[in-house]
Amino acid sequence: MPYIIALIIIALIILASCVKIVPQARAMVVERLGGYLTTWSVGLHFKVPFIDRIARKVNLKEQVIDFNPQPVITKDNVTMQIDTVVFFQITDPKLFAYGVENPLMAIENLTATTLRNIIGDLELDETLTSRELINTKMRTQLDVATDPWGIKVNRVELKNIIPPAEIQDSMEKQMKAERERREKILQAEGEKKSTVLIAEGKKDQAILQAQADKEAQILRAEAEKERRIREAEGEAEAILKVQRATAEGIKLLKEAGADEAVLQLKSLEAFEKAADGQATKIIIPSDIQGIAGSVKSLVEVAKE
């Protein structure tokens, strides 16, 4: 009885080991009597005990391999270190299981040789500025080479490009010189713009000053004109007032009954005021000259 129970337990264990569940994004390569039988995908599967066996479990997710820096030589004989990152995915589990002995090592060596071939056709400057071109070439060549292994290379990236120390020093000096050159150019452009703005400002200031001087001259001319007009009006008004006063005086003399001689003497006084001590020549009517002579005679008689 105990032997039967033991056999039953052993049979259950064997049956349980023959039941396999394949999870998502996984695959299993199954062999029968040492030869390839089938590939199990996601789901429940059964195998024949002692005849079938699972030869390889395959991960179908996209995988990433970061390779160590590889020494490469450029076309102009510069040795540098470049490390790469490869993104790949297994598309055929059967080819992956039987195509190459160690797929990851094979991809690493293939990546190194492909990188050396591509960099060997480029000079240092092209290598530093052509990352996208190098990535595209490497992905294309690796994808073609790994296709018989059931592997698809989705992407290749150059992680770091490390040139020799002396090259790095030279590049830093070149970059520093380039930055200084750009700084001087920007400074010169700034000074040029500043000079132009100052000149334009002086020009505008001169124009404004000229306009202000012109307006000032116009205002001064208008003020002088107004002054002369007012002086002329004042002189005319003064003359008019003098004439009115003289007329009023003569009128009063006539009303007082003054004779002709007195009137002529008043006329002489009016001429004297008109001259005001400034005239160099005064034209006196003849009748007034006669009166002046009579007055002189009377003065002489009075002295005798």
In which band, very low, low, confident or very high, does the pLDDT at 151 lie, cut at 50, 70 and 90?
very high
* β-strand partners of 146: none
Confidence bin at 298 (pLDDT 50/70/90): very low
Three-state SS at 204: helix
Contact assessment for residue 68 and residue 126, using Cβ atoms and an 8 Å cutoff: no
Distance CA 113, CA 154 (A): 18
Average pLDDT over residues 82-103: 90
- Return the pLDDT at 295: 44
Q: Which of 155, 19, 31, 47 is nearest to 93 (CA)?
A: 31
Mean per-residue pLDDT, 21-47: 90
Question: To 10 degrees, what angle do helices 260-275 and 286-303 make?
Answer: 110
Q: 123's torsion region: left (phi>0), alpha (psi -120 to 50) or beta?
A: beta
More confident residue, 1 or 140: 140
Using the Cα atoms of residue 287, residue 293, residue 297 and residue 302 in order, give the sign of their dihedral: positive
Q: Which of 285, 240, 239, 236 is nearest to 263 (CA)?
A: 285
* Residue 18 DSSP label: T
Mean pLDDT throughout 183-211? 86
- CB atoms under 10 Å from CB of 298, counted, come to 11
* Helix extents (H) in the chain: 2-17, 93-98, 103-119, 124-129, 131-146, 165-256, 260-275, 286-303
The tokens for 233 are 């009006």
What integer is the mean pLDDT of 41-69? 89
Question: Using one digit for the tens of pLDDT, what is the confidence trace for 230-254?
Answer: 888 888 787 777 777 777 766 766 6
User: For 182-195, b where at least 16 C-beta lie within 10 A, e where not — what string?
Assistant: eeeeeeeeeeeeee
Q: Is pLDDT at 213 greater than 60 in this prediction?
A: yes
Residue, of 296 and 120, whose pLDDT is higher:
120
Number of other residues whose CB lies within 10 A of the CB of residue 29: 20
- Looking at the chain, the whole-number percentage of residues with pLDDT higher than 70 is 81
Under CATH, to which class is 63-163 assigned? alpha beta
Is pLDDT above 70 for 268? no
Which residue has better confidence, 74 or 274? 74
Specify the pLDDT at position 248.
Answer: 75
3-state secondary structure of 87: strand
Q: Most confidently modeled of 88-102, 119-133, 169-183, 276-290?
A: 88-102
Q: Which residues, in sequence order, are CB contacts of 131 under 8 Å at separation 6+? A: 158, 161
Entry field: residues in the chain: 304
Interior angle at CA 190, CA 189 and CA 192, nearest 5: 65
